[in-house]
A = this chain, B = another copy of it.
Amino acid sequence: MSTHSGPGSAEALQRSWAEKRVLIAGGLGFIGSNLAHQLIEAGAVVSLIDCLRPEYGGNEFNIEGIRDGVMVKVADLRESETMAELVHAQDFLFNLAGQTSHLDSMRDPWTDMEMNCRAQLSLLEACRQNNPAMRIVFASTRQIYGVPKYIPVDEKHPLAPVDVNGANKLAGENYHLVYGRAYGMHVSVLRLTNTYGPRMRVKDERQTFLGVWLRQLIEGQPIRIFGDGKQIRDFNFVDDVITALLLAADEAQADGSIFNLGSSETINLRDLAELLIEINGEGVIDQVEFPPDRKSIDIGDYYSDYRLISETLGWQPRVNLRDGLARTLAFYRQHHEHYWP
Determine whether the beta carbon of B296 is less than 8 Å from that of A164.
Answer: no
A213 → B minimal CB distance (Å)? 25
Query: Hey, which chain B residues are within 8 Å of A110, CB to CB?
Result: 118, 121
Determine whether the beta carbon of B163 is less than 8 Å from that of A170.
Answer: no
Query: Hey, which chain B residues are within 8 Å of A106, CB to CB?
Result: 182
A231 → B minimal CB distance (Å)? 18
A159 within 8 A of B: yes
Determine whether the beta carbon of B171 is less than 8 Å from that of A175.
Answer: no
A277-320 contacts to B, CB under 8 A, are 296-297
Contact with B along A134-149 (1 / 0, CB 8 A): 0000000000000000
A167 within 8 A of B: yes
Query: Hey, which chain B residues are within 8 Å of A178, CB to CB?
Result: 161-164, 166-167
A210 within 8 A of B: no
Q: Given A170-B170, A171-B171, A175-B167, is A296 in contact with B182 using a C-beta cutoff of 8 Å?
A: yes
- Cα of A162 to Cα of B180 in the assembled complex, Å: 10
Determine whether the beta carbon of A182 is less than 8 Å from that of B168.
Answer: no
Determine whether the beta carbon of A174 is less than 8 Å from that of B161.
Answer: yes
Q: Given A106-B182, A181-B296, A297-B182, is A164 in contact with B158 using a C-beta cutoff of 8 Å?
A: no
A156 within 8 A of B: yes
- Can you show 29 pairs from A to B with CB atoms below 8 A apart? A106-B182, A109-B121, A109-B125, A109-B175, A110-B118, A113-B117, A113-B118, A113-B121, A117-B117, A117-B168, A117-B171, A121-B164, A156-B158, A159-B159, A160-B174, A162-B181, A162-B182, A163-B178, A163-B182, A164-B178, A166-B174, A167-B171, A167-B174, A167-B175, A167-B178, A170-B170, A170-B174, A171-B171, A182-B297
The 6 closest A-B pairs by CB, nearest first: A167-B174, A171-B171, A182-B296, A109-B121, A167-B171, A161-B174
Beyond A109-B121, A167-B171, A181-B296: 7 further Cβ-contacts under 8 Å? A109-B175, A113-B121, A117-B171, A160-B177, A170-B170, A182-B297, A183-B296
* A interface residues with partner B (beta carbon < 8 Å): 106, 109-110, 113, 117-118, 121, 125, 156, 158-164, 166-168, 170-171, 174-175, 177-178, 181-183, 296-297
